[in-house]
Amino acid sequence: MSTTKPSIGFCGLGAMGFGMATHFVERGYIVKGFDISQASLDRFEQAGGVPVATLQESAEGNDFYICMVATAQQAQSAIFDDAKPIIKGLPNGATLLLCSTVPATYAQSVAQQLQQLGRSDISLIDCPVSGGAARAVNGTLTIMAGASPEAIAKGQWLLKEMSGENKLFIVDGGIGQGSNMKMVHQVLAAIHILAASEGMGLAVKLGLDPRIVVERVNGSAAWSWMWENRTTRMLNEDYYPGVSALTIILKDVCIVTSQARATTFPVPLSSLAEQVYFSALNQGYGPHDDAGVLRIYHNTSLSQTPQSWLSEDEVNKRTNLVITLLTNIHLLAAAEALSFARHLGIPLDQLYGLAVDAAGGSHSLRDVGKLMIRGLSGNEKNWMGVCTHNLDTVVTDLAEVVGAAQDLKMPLFLGNAVLGAFLGVRMRFGGDIGEAAVLKAYVQ
């Protein structure tokens, strides 16, 4: 371990933050960490970190500071409003990384507040992260960073320490665009997390063996990072404390819908996911892992749900219903994320490159996203005619899934919303267009 490495200030030792902070400890940095939970501080000390008693102390003498609290409200308190805040401790010319997921407008207000307080010496980087606790520990996170070129130059080495190879995305547009990039990525994440529960709920109600369905979906066009990741916890019914609390993705999707309302853009699938998450919150699932939203669809323990005896043909047929459902939810999620990104001036190729290999990844995005980006560019006339599956086929297949769920008397929130959106596009343009044209649900 080299002792010439600079010491780093850190606040927010939650699931993600603890992983990030201990990653630096393991890489030989002195990390001064603060958290409001004494248990987290103790755990941090055991992991080799230096726990401190105030935010101000965690900043003192550190030219680099990472803020990884959960919300904009917490960040505001930690940086400015606390009795002994970060701002009082940060040395002249320090670099402050705001890694929390916050609205872009909040990140911009941090820059303004620094200026108003006469602390323009501080280089602020708006750099939310993605990838989950395991990648935080390994230093292979995806990071979306917006800032002035000067700030990026100062902080880039730190961002690189935390991020995987080709996982650091410097987003054009300065402070705010890192958060906006994360936000549009979370459009995918929020919809895919609910989709995983909806797909698994359907599978179980169809009498399928959940372990086999997980494998089959993972090897199909319906794959998503969230499906692969969340279903492992569903299979083990490992919801509490879990890895990522429902309240976290709910907070993120609330940022999506608020910013969409503020800019009069429709995000119907994100909105719907938010409503289902609020329902789950009201049922007491807030502190549980978001994979536990499965219980909205199927509230009997998986291990106690009898599986039907089914012929191999019938297993294939029913598994295909689940695959059709997920593929098409992911397809419309891609359209929602990409079109919202364009609306916000986010570089689409960068979003694609980032999301396809991150927590928002899906084969639908991978396979159809580039064509959607060409459609959104406005430079290509015939993109709607490009066709792997035509819309009429997609509608027929998805209608069968929706009908099957109806027969099972189970809610299929996303499946029904997606079918409705597809039918709306079909009404306007006919059914003889490619599946990428579902983008038209979001653009003129």
Which residues belong to the active site?
Answer: 182
CA atoms within 13 A on the CB side of 375: 27
Contact 10, 32 (CB under 8 A): yes
* Residue 12 phi, psi dihedral angles, 5° rounding: 100, 75
| Residue 126 or 252 having the CB closest to a copy of itself | 252
Q: How far is the CB of 76 from a copy of itself (least distance, A)?
A: 17
**Nearest one of 21, 18, 89 to 55, comparing CA atoms:** 89
CA atoms within 13 A on the CB side of 281: 13
d(CA 200, CA 275): 19
Residue 283 three-state SS: coil
Residue 62 is classified by DSSP as: -
| Residue 18 or 106 having the CB closest to a copy of itself | 106
Q: How far is the CB of 99 from a copy of itself (least distance, A)?
A: 24
Site of tokens 């997980």: 214
Q: How far is the CB of 276 from a copy of itself (least distance, A)?
A: 7
Q: How far is the CB of 307 from a copy of itself (least distance, A)?
A: 20
Q: How far is the CB of 271 from a copy of itself (least distance, A)?
A: 4
Q: What does the binding site for a copy of itself look like in residue numbers (CB under 8 A)?
A: 254, 257-258, 261, 264-268, 271-272, 274-276, 278-279, 281-282, 296, 299, 395, 399, 402-403, 406, 409-413, 416-417, 419-421, 423-424, 426-428, 431, 441-444
**Regarding beta strands 123-126 and 50-51, do their DSSP bridges make them parallel or antiparallel, or are they unpaired?**
unpaired
d(CA 190, CA 194): 7
| Residue 20 or 250 having the CB closest to a copy of itself | 250
d(CA 104, CA 78): 18
Residue 303 is classified by DSSP as: G
d(CA 256, CA 262): 10
Q: How many Cβ atoms from other residues are within 10 Å of residue 156's Cβ?
A: 16
d(CA 197, CA 392): 26
Tokens (6 digits) for 279: 């329902």
d(CA 144, CA 191): 20
Q: How far is the CB of 106 from a copy of itself (least distance, A)?
A: 16
| Residue 77 or 271 having the CB closest to a copy of itself | 271
Q: How far is the CB of 266 from a copy of itself (least distance, A)?
A: 4
| Residue 70 or 90 having the CB closest to a copy of itself | 70
| Residue 80 or 278 having the CB closest to a copy of itself | 278
DSSP of 76-136: HIIIIISSS-HHHHPPTT-EEEE-S---HHHHHHHHHHHHHTT-TTSEEEE--EESHHHHH
Q: How far is the CB of 293 from a copy of itself (least distance, A)?
A: 12
Identify the burial level of 157 via C-beta atoms within 10 angstroms of its C-beta, where 0-12 means exposed, 13-18 middle and 19 or more buried. Answer: exposed
| Residue 242 or 431 having the CB closest to a copy of itself | 431
Which stretch of DSSP H or E encloses residue 141? strand 141-145
**Nearest one of 96, 98, 153 to 121, comparing CA atoms:** 96
| Residue 241 or 403 having the CB closest to a copy of itself | 403
